[in-house]
Structure 1
């Protein structure tokens, strides 16, 4: 090979080196760009009799510096960071909402019970009664407002899930298209580096939406999956995700695949990492629990306050009614139920103490209805079915009617909408039942020192036939140390300490000082030393305008352990919610800082291989420039020698 050709090959090699270096420099800040280098090789030698002489150089490849292990580590770190960033942004909104000392629930609860206490102190005052109603209205408004705000966050999560799924599908299609282009342009000697970088950058952006797993496919293609192997890209084909409303709750967006017009939901457990994973984690771990717990407090307050209010007497002399409207649980009928089914499920919160924050699935197996507590999978069978009376499960009364079909499904959310649905049942101050429905008396004509307590009533008093409509007079017989005169047809229970003894109706009841005596839902106690034939009366409260005994019991509900099986008050339950959300928010912030550090470290490691070092490239630029100039000098010398040879012939 001539010296001219050798110089030309060096010139061309240096030119490629200059172009590659220049491309590195100009793309130093291009996202996803990997540093490239021109790989130079000897073109071989020729035998000249005395030995082998080189024939020049060539560029065998332009290779990009890329480490798949480091790239995967960076993607994993970025997926975790994106999930935590999204989760933290969302949970901070809930934390700020619930912990607000002005707009939170605690001040409104305190104001409400202050109003109850004021009305109890002044039961005849219409102003105090109106103030109680006003504070109750404010409390209802606070519950409604908090629930509405949480509902707005849930709606926002739905919108972002739909948006993220759309972006995921877009990236998946573009990656599949690039797979085809890269496969067509790849050879055994060369690969389209810029397209490989573009594909890797798309993987990076996709990975920030949902954590993906990338594996090598055929002909330089990549396969992309997520979760437990759910496909997004396989070779030249992309698999699109889809979203639709839950068949049992139209306000909840689910993610899955659609094939043949049928939607197949993906379990939330596979939607991990990235923004989508953060949204799903926030909705399941924080938002739903916050909404359910807030609703649990609202439903617990309404149910327990109503129960006590009904045991009181209003200013019209009537028994109290519901103070708050009863809480109806949300029941979602699965849209996939058989069209032949006419089954309906209704659920009403009846017991504040047994109420949980869980949702429930009601399913018909062809013979029986089963209620599954979704928080732990506990199953309770509706028995008997068909029902003769509603069945109470975890403080919720279930009523099922109609003709079901096998596989019928219903979603019951007892507390999810309770805070939103809470409302007052009365607006008339005279209907506030602050008085007790009974009154007791020991006539002044009694000869002994016996005394009778004011008495109280329980839920049994509301049973038909138990209410006292005329005075009941009890007479003491000293010889037998017993009382008689109890209402006919009603057994009498005497409780001393923790021991209760029931005496059949019409049987004289032995007297034990300070023992609790109960019949028909009425409880009282007699103390002292009654004389023979002394009498005590228990009758209707006919002048209870100034009575506030039931009001005191209503006010006492504030500090009574009613919630969570009698272990917490309304306010401690709310405080537990605030603390739980606050702790999760702080944990997310700490984890977020650790994730940021992990991304920084992974980026540094990845860039140490694939990143462009401008100082190094500047040095390479000078090196290739010198090589170019030297090769040009070789060609110049070759030209001079050629001219010399030609001049010899003249």
Structure 2
């Protein structure tokens, strides 16, 4: 049996004191009902063995599970919102008809078709150039928008990084204050400080995905969900640093401790929150779209250039490039032997169909000084997010080559239609690394290279026709031109049979100095023929020809007595033209082949230019080489980009709305436990007021009894 030794006065006094404390706590809750981040408080008392109310303890009313769930859902909402806001803007731009590259391509090819229907109309040719310039302007405008989006994104990442660092520092400082206050007052929780700290943690959770751990001293440690520590014990904390190597515009994250210079790399894919959403948009949407647009611009320009070079223009000259394609300087890594080293890259003429959207990391393996200097290299293909590009077996795609000439002005081909210039010779050092991004910004760097509509090469530079005295039924079906490179010295292995002076090589001017370029086909039977030069000298003779297609190619492969000249075959593609017939020729029938002098009204090459609209010329997948199956048309490639962004935007919209619902649900759960209910507090206020009044009555009774006793004594 407990014996209470406290007097009635002490019991009443403790009751008044406790009721006053309860009223103070209730009043504090009511006054902070609209204070952001406030967690309602509760004061608990225990009774004393000797009688009356003992020491009270004031603490916050909080459900740790509800709080952690709210933080997780806040992180998810921050990530989904940041991603959706950015991608929806890009999706609207790409889907807009006013900005559609597909529309500008259609207008260009429509103008081209109109012009080749009347190849002698100079005004129609000028309209083609106008539409070509408009198409480039549309690509450049869209590229500029993406580039500005990237700049804005980097600015926002910088601002968010600063905000996150301020929050991390604030949390650490609040932890120190909480530890000090709580150690000096065990009976009252420092609620104001903890509310401020928890609100800072909540704001940090909106920026990055975090996990927390409560300590016995009242402090809270904070880690990234990926494991790296942000707020540690004893006031130590890590802050984010934003950097980019070698690409200073592609920001990456590191952590640096407040008490050591050590740096810790952070994987952007595991960040979550606003910061993770921005990185995801950059790596999954913006960067691929930039490169796909650049690939389209280069593929379109190179294909048009290649075909125009195979034609003859309004002035009777061999065709030239319509567009100027840029060269790109590779980025120099910070750890290279010198910051002034450079490697330049560009697309080989006619090879843009092999180009991918990958970036190319070039490593110098060895350097050999000499005449000329040479380098050995390894090339790694990287996706837009910096991860390795993989082949069909899931292995990183790499390329190695040795003995590449390293002199200014010397371009050496590598893979994917690229060629490199190593202008610094023996200055390179083994281990130097460079990052080449051939498609990232090039959509805005392609320009028109001609200013006259007359320079559009709509005509074919070759014409072929049967002799008027032919007795057979064979007719010229087509001529084909595959090479118009002019080099009468044949130092260039790509030289063609065109002499650049409005003709083809005659005897003595062709490779080998003997017979001239093919200029006539004379049949000796319906399936046999001779190939002659312009002087009538037999170059080769074909017997038992399987068909009448590509007669010159057959002459090279099966011609005999004499055989096709070895000097011709030693070149890559000589003479660069061919002829096909259909029907049945008779012995003695002849067909002449000559330069298409005065062929102003010819539109054969123009038809080939217009036909590029329907040809697969843009490589789709880096894992396999270019082919018709792994290729897309200009319209198809742009449609793929628009479709990809549109699908991701639709998914982002759904995820954003789901994240909003989840965050609202967890917020309601947290508020139901830790939020202030005015109804509940009003009820408590009445109850505590009554308890205070009752204790006061007890105190009054004690006073009366005391006075009665004193009176009796007197």
SS in 1 for 2:521: strand
Which of 401, 405, 409 is the matching residue for 2:433? 409
Identify the residue that residue 285 of structure 2 maps to in structure 1. Answer: 286
Unaligned stretches of 5+ in structure 2? 1-5, 368-375, 384-388, 391-395, 487-493, 499-503, 507-517, 565-572, 620-625
Q: Does 1:382 align with 2:405?
A: no
Please say if residues 490 and 520 of structure 1, whose CA atoms lie closer than 8 Å, have aligned partners that are also in contact.
no
**RMSD (Å), alpha carbons:** 2.7
Deviation per CA, 1:9-40: give whole Å up to 9, x if none. Answer: 10110111111111111222222221211101
Identify the residue that residue 441 of structure 1 maps to in structure 2. Answer: 465
Which of 69, 73, 83 is the matching residue for 1:73? 69
Rounded Cα–Cα distance in structure 1 between residues aligned with 2:304 and 2:646: 29
Please say if residues 329 and 413 of structure 1, whose CA atoms lie closer than 8 Å, have aligned partners that are also in contact.
yes
Please say if residues 330 and 417 of structure 1, whose CA atoms lie closer than 8 Å, have aligned partners that are also in contact.
no
Give TM-score, length-normalised by structure 2.
0.83
Rounded Cα–Cα distance in structure 2 between residues aligned with 1:622 and 1:495: 110
Q: Does 1:142 align with 2:142?
A: no
Please say if residues 462 and 479 of structure 2, whose CA atoms lie closer than 8 Å, have aligned partners that are also in contact.
yes
Deviation per CA, 1:332-356: give whole Å up to 9, x if none. Answer: 1223311288453433355232221
Please say if residues 97 and 103 of structure 1, whose CA atoms lie closer than 8 Å, have aligned partners that are also in contact.
yes
Cα shift at 1:531: 2.8
Which of 205, 208, 230 is the matching residue for 2:206? 208
- C-alpha change, 1:326 and 1:593, in structure 2 (3 Å) is same
Identify the residue that residue 512 of structure 2 maps to in structure 1. Answer: none
Identify the residue that residue 513 of structure 1 maps to in structure 2. Answer: none
Cα shift at 1:291: 0.7
Q: Does 1:619 align with 2:694?
A: no
- C-alpha change, 1:479 and 1:24, in structure 2 (3 Å) is closer
- C-alpha change, 1:217 and 1:359, in structure 2 (3 Å) is farther
- C-alpha change, 1:227 and 1:619, in structure 2 (3 Å) is closer
Which of 43, 46, 54 is the matching residue for 1:58? 54
**Which is worse superposed, 252-261 or 120-129?**
252-261
Q: Does 1:464 align with 2:469?
A: no
- C-alpha change, 1:629 and 1:613, in structure 2 (3 Å) is same
Rounded Cα–Cα distance in structure 1 between residues aligned with 2:83 and 2:456: 45
SS in 2 for 1:220: coil
SS in 2 for 1:526: strand
Rounded Cα–Cα distance in structure 2 between residues aligned with 1:597 and 1:416: 38
**Which is worse superposed, 187-196 or 90-99?**
187-196
Identify the residue that residue 709 of structure 2 maps to in structure 1. Answer: 645
Identify the residue that residue 7 of structure 1 maps to in structure 2. Answer: 12
**Which is worse superposed, 233-242 or 323-332?**
323-332
Deviation per CA, 1:165-212: give whole Å up to 9, x if none. Answer: 000110011111011101111134443122111111100001111111
Deviation per CA, 1:216-243: give whole Å up to 9, x if none. Answer: 3463322212152222211212222122
Q: Does 1:197 align with 2:195?
A: yes
SS in 2 for 1:556: helix
Rounded Cα–Cα distance in structure 2 between residues aligned with 1:408 and 1:498: 52
- C-alpha change, 1:535 and 1:263, in structure 2 (3 Å) is farther
Identify the residue that residue 31 of structure 1 maps to in structure 2. Answer: 36
- C-alpha change, 1:324 and 1:5, in structure 2 (3 Å) is same
SS in 1 for 2:612: helix
SS in 2 for 1:383: strand
Alignment of 1:107-506 (within 5 A): 107-187=103-183, 188-217=186-215, 219-235=217-233, 236-244=235-243, 246-257=244-255, 266-269=265-268, 272-329=271-328, 331-339=330-338, 342=341, 344-348=343-347, 350=349, 351-366=351-366, 368-375=376-383, 376-377=389-390, 378-387=396-405, 390-401=412-423, 402-403=425-426, 404-459=428-483, 463-467=494-498, 468-469=504-505, 472-478=519-525, 481-485=528-532, 502-504=557-559
Please say if residues 456 and 522 of structure 1, whose CA atoms lie closer than 8 Å, have aligned partners that are also in contact.
yes
- C-alpha change, 1:251 and 1:167, in structure 2 (3 Å) is same
Identify the residue that residue 582 of structure 2 maps to in structure 1. Answer: 527
**Which is worse superposed, 408-417 or 498-507?**
498-507
Please say if residues 143 and 419 of structure 1, whose CA atoms lie closer than 8 Å, have aligned partners that are also in contact.
yes
Rounded Cα–Cα distance in structure 2 between residues aligned with 1:248 and 1:497: 57
Rounded Cα–Cα distance in structure 2 between residues aligned with 1:364 and 1:489: 52
- C-alpha change, 1:459 and 1:190, in structure 2 (3 Å) is farther
Please say if residues 439 and 454 of structure 1, whose CA atoms lie closer than 8 Å, have aligned partners that are also in contact.
no
- C-alpha change, 1:340 and 1:286, in structure 2 (3 Å) is closer
Rounded Cα–Cα distance in structure 2 between residues aligned with 1:162 and 1:519: 58
SS in 2 for 1:372: strand
SS in 1 for 2:129: helix
Unaligned stretches of 5+ in structure 1? 46-53, 510-517
Rounded Cα–Cα distance in structure 2 between residues aligned with 1:555 and 1:576: 22
Cα shift at 1:366: 4.5
